[in-house]
Amino acid sequence: MNGAQFLCETLLANDIDVCFANPGTSEMHFVAALDQQPGMRCVLGLFEGVVTGAADGYARMARKPAATLLHLGSGLGNGLANLHNARRAHTPMVNVVGEHARHHLAYDAPLTSDIRAIASAVSTQVQTAASPESLRDDVAQTVAAALQPPGGIGTLILPADIAWSEVPAGTVAPRLSKPEPARVADAAIEQAAQAIRSGRALLLLGGDALFHAPLLAAYSICRATGAEMLAETLGARMQRGRHAVPVAKLPYTVDAALERLRHVEQLILIGASEPVAFFAYPGKPSTLAPAGCRVHELAAPGHDLADTLQRLCLALGVELLTEAPAVAPAQLADAGSGPLNARAVCLAVAALLPEGAIVSDESVTQGRSFYEASLGSAPHDYLQLTGGAIGQGLPLATGAAVACPSRQVVSLQADGSAMYTVQSLWTQARERLKCLTVILSNRSYAILHNEMRNVGVEHLGRNASHMLSIGDPDIGWAQLAASMGVASRSASTVEDFIQAFREGLAAPGPFLIEAVLP
């Protein structure tokens, strides 16, 4: 058995049976090894950002890692933005990055680079396979990094000669156990309970605390004690809809976030980080908790968050409720009629969303009303752009659809960020994925227009206008999708959009709607 075959055996032994790939010359032995494993599903992405973003979406929904296959440092570098997003989401992932044969490195061939330096920025663990004899331990350490709660990115650098060399006879693929999440200390639970009793407390929830049972426990606490709760601004995965606990998000903009937290005296972090501004602005603070507010990190993302909230209920003497508060179903009539606008799109999607859907939201500015509108949607999972590096939405949807082939995936996607990883549409077509993409086409980087106003610039000249617009020429989204094998429609009225969305839900494979906005 050569090194590449052994690596495949180890991945499969640890239930890593999907590989999102964009291979090159140095990975051909690993490709050949994958070809011998019918239990491994290999999904090709035509850009490495699609590969890494899809592995992120897959793991968020499958609750286990996928592998990626990337070509040397340049291929890894192309996938870096979505690895940054995955790191912020605490996504488990195993990256296999090919490297030149060890004896060839001395010649500084054109594609030689410092792969370890590139990988270190986004990886929990970076391991270079040193020899055929050490490969077993090298692979085991990489997989172990991915399995650590709450999830990590393990990157294995695999030199070509180790891939083609025989491993020692009798080497057995290691089977690793996934560690249990840590349990919060009793003293920390009691301290948080005392903080809540003192009044003006707010629970800031992130990670797995945004799943149904932990949210219900948090809601029980708030209802009984008068405390408040918020979700972190960009959560990896949230269970939402009219049978879930309605929870608002901490606002994105600095002024709105400061106003929302202005009265809070005790801020309790459960799976979330202390809130900070996304960017610095003249005269505005970087941290968002008000002066004098005590911040308690009760539980980090790697803790057992469901257990934490249940025990906090017990410490407070709060009865754990069994049902979320009733929410009225979203109504299609609310979308109105006539010329299409962003709010109408969000209201229509919220009303038409099927039960069990998965929403990948990278709508940025135009889709901000969807979150509130979808409180009354059918039960669904909601995925977001965790690290702020745009170009995640379409790959995230692709990976989620691979993980959950029987569920409808809906992408709410800004047109500017969609162009970063538009190759995802091709992968969706090839894999016959149930992905319905809504492109909110306003032909502008609208969020950057807002940011210019935030720094005091109200009137844009020619240079700035050209950098913040993606019109002239306009992108023909319906034609672009069709060229990659995705059925598509363009809609400029509410009536046309509703008809197109229903058509997309009925389609057997991927479907794209260009929502043409003013």
Phi, psi of 382 (to 5 degrees): -125, 120
136 & 220 share domain: no
Domain final residue, candidates 97, 132, 164: 164
User: What does the alpha-carbon distance between residue 469 and residue 416 come to, in Å, rounded to a whole number?
Assistant: 9
**Nearest CA-CA partner of 410 in 513, 272, 334, 308:** 513
131 & 41 share domain: yes
Question: Among residues of the chain, what percentage have pLDDT more than 70?
Answer: 97
Q: What is the DSSP string of 51-94?
A: HHHHHHHHHHHHSS-EEEEE-HHHHHHHTHHHHHHHHHTT--EE
Cis amide leading into 301 (omega within 30)? no
User: What does the alpha-carbon distance between residue 228 and residue 224 come to, in Å, rounded to a whole number?
Assistant: 11
Which pLDDT score, from 0 to 100, does residue 460 have? 75
Quote the domain boundaries for residue 81: 3-164
Please state the rounded mean pLDDT for residues 17-30. 97
**176 contacts: CB under 8 Å, gap ≥ 6:** 14, 140, 143, 144, 147
30 & 111 share domain: yes
120 & 19 share domain: yes
Phi, psi of 202 (to 5 degrees): -135, 130
CB-based contact 494:349 (threshold 8 Å): no
How far, in Å, are 10, 71, 144, 451 from residue 131 at the CA level? 16, 20, 19, 50
Is 148 among the domain residues? yes
127 band by pLDDT with thresholds 50, 70 and 90: very high
CB-based contact 510:435 (threshold 8 Å): yes
Please state the rounded mean pLDDT for residues 162-184. 96
Task: With a cut of 60, say whether residue 323 has pLDDT above it.
Answer: yes
Task: With a cut of 60, say whether residue 308 has pLDDT above it.
Answer: yes
Is 408 among the domain residues? yes
Least confidently predicted of 271-275, 350-354, 366-370:
366-370
Which pLDDT score, from 0 to 100, does residue 150 have? 96
How many domains is the chain built from? 3
288 & 349 share domain: no
Least confidently predicted of 66-75, 192-201, 313-322, 468-477:
468-477
Strands 380-384 and 238-240: antiparallel
Residue-wise pLDDT for 386-433, tens only, equals 999 999 999 999 999 999 999 999 999 999 999 999 999 999 999 999
358 & 401 share domain: yes
451 & 387 share domain: yes
160 & 197 share domain: no
Is 175 among the domain residues? no
226 & 347 share domain: no
Residues in the chain: 518
Residue-wise pLDDT for 458-497, tens only, equals 777 877 777 777 878 899 999 999 999 999 999 999 999 9
Domain with residue 191: its CATH number is: 3.40.50.1220
278 band by pLDDT with thresholds 50, 70 and 90: very high
342 & 310 share domain: no
Number of H helices, E strands in the chain: 21, 17
**343 contacts: CB under 8 Å, gap ≥ 6:** 369
Which pLDDT score, from 0 to 100, does residue 365 have? 83
Task: With a cut of 80, say whether residue 23 has pLDDT above it.
Answer: yes
Which pLDDT score, from 0 to 100, does residue 447 have? 62
Domain with residue 105: its CATH number is: 3.40.50.970
82 & 155 share domain: yes
Which pLDDT score, from 0 to 100, does residue 10 have? 98
Task: With a cut of 80, say whether residue 452 has pLDDT above it.
Answer: no
Is 40 among the domain residues? yes
**65 contacts: CB under 8 Å, gap ≥ 6:** 16, 55, 59, 92, 93, 94, 143, 146, 147, 151
Domain final residue, candidates 286, 316, 346: 316
Convert 459-470 into a string of H (helix), E (strand) and C (coil): CCCHHHHHHCEC
Please state the rounded mean pLDDT for residues 183-187. 98
Is 171 among the domain residues? no
Which pLDDT score, from 0 to 100, does residue 461 have? 80
How far, in Å, are 91, 120, 144 from residue 273 at the CA level? 16, 22, 24
Strand order in the sheet with 125-128: 41-44, 18-22, 66-70, 93-99, 153-159, 125-128
In 132-179, beta strands by DSSP E: 153-159
124 band by pLDDT with thresholds 50, 70 and 90: very high
Is 404 among the domain residues? yes
Give me the residues paired with residue 103 across strands: none
Task: With a cut of 60, say whether residue 6 has pLDDT above it.
Answer: yes
**Nearest CA-CA partner of 45 in 433, 382, 415:** 433
275 band by pLDDT with thresholds 50, 70 and 90: very high
CB-based contact 67:55 (threshold 8 Å): yes
Residue-wise pLDDT for 369-396, tens only, equals 999 999 999 999 999 999 999 999 999 9
Task: With a cut of 70, say whether residue 450 has pLDDT above it.
Answer: no
How far, in Å, are 8, 40, 64, 95, 217 from residue 16 at the CA level? 9, 8, 8, 12, 32
CB burial readout 323-357, b (16+ within 10 A) else e: ebeeeeebeeeebeeeebbbbbbbbbbbbbbeeeb
Task: With a cut of 90, say whether residue 259 has pLDDT above it.
Answer: yes
- Write down the residue that tokens 């906005």 correspond to: 517
Is 215 among the domain residues? yes
100 & 210 share domain: no
The C-alpha torsion from 90 through 92 and 97 to 102, rounded to 10°, is 100
Is 425 among the domain residues? yes
CA atoms within 13 A on the CB side of 376: 13
233 band by pLDDT with thresholds 50, 70 and 90: very high
Please state the rounded mean pLDDT for residues 70-97. 98
Looking at every residue in the chain, the average pLDDT score rounds to 95
User: What does the alpha-carbon distance between residue 70 and residue 5 come to, in Å, rounded to a whole number?
Assistant: 17
